[in-house]
Structure 1
Amino acid sequence: MKRFFKIASAVLLLACHSFALKAQTQSTEGSWIQTKKQAQTEKKLIFVDLYFTGCMPCAQMDKEVFPDPKVAALLNADFVTFKSDILKEEIGKKLCMKYGVTGFPTFLLMSAEGKVIDIAGGFHSVEQFTALLQNAKESAKKGVFKKYSPEIQEKEYPDFYKQAYLDGKRNVPFEVIDTYLKSKETSDEIYFVIVTGLRVGKQYDDAFLFNSKKFAKDYGRWSVTNHVFTILQRKKKEYEKKKDLKGFTELVNDSKELYTPEEFTKYSAILLKDFGVEKVVVNPSASKK
């Protein structure tokens, strides 16, 4: 029995070490292609970790979650892992562009052919992360995938969007974005990633809220809930001007089913806190009496 536990422990340590090594390998377009080929050969799914050096929750995942024996065993058994620093590596930038990524870490769970099963982000506990991986496995078995196309086709994106992600030129005039979006269908993938990836507001907020549940089904809850929260923060100012707490509360509650109960409790509390309370700005240069 003791010998059995020693062998099991060695296997789990090897799994942890394998994932750690993969995390240290520089990610390139060629390595991304090789990852997909490996997943197809081994009949596994793909797990992508998009991060950057200096990101606190990214570092926390590396330290507390990925080395966990349960997590490492699950990743090594069922996934081919791919990790990319989105500030240093071109393929990371392209994957962020493809999926309109704005927060980190972001996790892509995909089939070997590049079909998206789910997108998630932020720090996950070991329990939350293993549940994410298990749910991805079950969805893949059922053939349930998101609406994203499987390949990165750079020529399909407008120049302003490519420059925003590949060159860091994110200050795009609204008029430029607006002109382009008016030529696209609301349900189109590129429409969705431009709106969420560039945080497009103004007259696009109401349409996004109206379509948010369909967007969540088609493109994943993570991107949608992040953008809905941004919209509701903007809407709060409008409702405060009208002193309409009831109306704003109803608007917040309309988004409830997009979030888990824990998430909704957290975000609704943030949104409704200090509603209508005048923000006092203290001038630090003012002289004290």
Structure 2
Amino acid sequence: MNTFFAHLALSLLLVASFSLSARSVAPAATSPEGITFFRGSWKDVLAEARRQNKPIFLDIYTTWCPPCRRMAREAFPSPVLGTKFNTHFINYQLDAEKGEGLAIAKQYAVASYPTGLYLSPTGALVHRSVGYGGVKAMIDLADHVLALSPMKPTLAKGDKEYAKGRRDAAFLKKYLKTRQELNRPLSDVLDAYLDALSEPELSQPESIAFTAEMIQSSTSKAFDFLIRRRLYLPSDLLTVVTEAQQRVISRDFNRAVTTRDQVLLEQIITNNERLLTAINPSRSEEQKQTTAATYRQSFLQEQNIITDSAR
């Protein structure tokens, strides 16, 4: 993968140099509808919790448990609970009698259902709740857990205000910096920040440089924003923007490989081509097809490497 990106980086720099000489001169305002549960293996959950520096809410249930069914029917679809739990936790469910649930239930000594486990990003048990006492009780318990000292390093200042719908630009800028310090995802908040700026503010070099610093994905509004703003940037800021866009394309490709996500791969190919074409509008159809084929071939090669290493 390193060879592949070294080649792409060199290509980008060459095209960028050509372009510069010719010119002379990187969840959302709406409320969630219920708790969103992470999909993937337990190993994936832990990796995502560490990546976001977020605690885990683990619901361990059985199919025959009446309180489990009531909680699933009554609590999990609640928008109020969704706002609270989606903001502050990586949420996950396991059937205690199937698959990984057997080992995880044993690991955490679960004997009654439903059991809610509140875990640190590393999987350490912080708090255990047994049974279901209603939506308000779950909200009160979440507030209690989040106030415990092991959880405080995972909380971004401003989480509560953002969850309530605060979207002014000054607040969002500070909130983005805090989330960045805690290694929390930034894309949705960054997109909201751009939506909050006026057109004159969007044109300011400070806004463009800040976006380049914060951008985390090529599938975000922020990537589109930087594409549109490239044309009239001074050379030093254009270099910063190009490096930021190249960085997130590389990051997205690594994520596509890890998750075996071919849909994301095709999005990356499209966005990378948009960037290359913005840098050099004279790119030929053959060049475009060659770049796309290189991405797809590298993706398949990385899948084979992952498969071989797992044997």
Sort the TM-score into its range (normalised by shorter chain).
0.3 to 0.5
Q: What is the TM-score normalised by the length of structure 1?
A: 0.40
TM-score norm. by structure 2 comes to 0.38
> Greater relative contact order (Cα 8 A, min sep 6): structure 1 or 2?
2
Structure label with greater radius of gyration: 2
